[in-house]
Amino acid sequence: MEKCAFIFPGQASQYVGMGQDLCAAFPAARACFDEADEVLGYSLSELCFSGPEEELRQTVITQPAVFVHSAAAWQVLAEAGLEPVCTAGHSLGEYTALVAAGAFSFSQALELVKRRSELMQRAGEEQPGTMVAIIALEDDKVEEVCRQAADRGVVVPANFNAPGQVVLSGELAAVERAGQLAQEAGAKRVIGLAVGGAFHSPLMAPAAEKMKGLLEAAEIAPPRVPVVCNVTATATEDPEELRRRLIEQITYPVRWSESVLHMVQMGVERAIEVGPGNVLKGMVRRIARDLDVVNAGTAEEVAALEEKV
């Protein structure tokens, strides 16, 4: 097979029914969900398979759900002998990328994701904020509108997802003002996102501070393959750098466009989106049109890849 990268989605990829067919078809996937139910102390599998959707959309549930589904799909691919040349994850997905690279064990990462989701949900409740996607405006112009709107409060670029798609994050009035300025500057659309807080912004500082202590105490093994970090958009195999970047990514922007281009420079010919949905596939196609992207989230998709191996 071609040189492939495993890429892992973050929040907003969840859906009711996620992982159900995977667990029915593959014992390794079922084992991941069973272990997650035990570690978390509630039936995450039941929430993933049956909902309700409102509960699945809560940060404290969404993050473990997406992480576990992605890890379950990866486990099946790993057992089939599919090994990437590097891994990367979008925001929360960075934790699954570290599991797939061998830097974290599944249960260790799940404990950290559980705490991260709780701390980010709490930060969002204590300092309410919002996020909007700015469509069809250059990155530098988006950064400029953030500077212009800063007199209304905190507003920063949170996700450089693809050319012409940047997500802003911050306080309500400032984000609203930045959205207006973006439209005046030529943005085609400003789309409000259903999120539980101003992720990847300074408003998440209380969560980052508490995660710092947890991550400093965590054992991170040297990964088998390089991990491309959200914060730097470069690959590393240094456990101490991985630790720093995980702490920083809670308040820093996700540099996804640059991360994908970096993987292409590393010689990656195919990206496999491992986990629920196909959000990353759409982004990657806009960033690097020649890069082959396939999904591995459903039983059918995973089985098709297994056959190729």
Q: Which residues contact 110 (CB under 8 A, 6 or more apart)?
A: 35, 36, 39, 40, 64, 67, 68, 71
Is 90 labeled as catalytic in the residue annotation? no
CA-wise closest residue to 108 among 14, 217, 235, 247 = 217
Compute the distance between CA of residue 309 and CA of residue 179 in angstroms, rounded to an integer. Answer: 46
- Residue 48 and residue 68 in contact, taking contact as beta carbons nearer than 8 Å: yes
Catalytic hit among 90, 117, 169, 200: 200
CA-wise closest residue to 4 among 299, 253, 295 = 295
- Residue 8 and residue 274 in contact, taking contact as beta carbons nearer than 8 Å: yes
Helices (H), the chain: 20-25, 27-40, 44-50, 53-56, 59-79, 93-101, 106-126, 139-149, 172-184, 205-217, 239-248, 256-265, 279-287, 299-308
Catalytic hit among 91, 117, 201, 257: 91
Q: Which residues are catalytic?
A: 91, 200
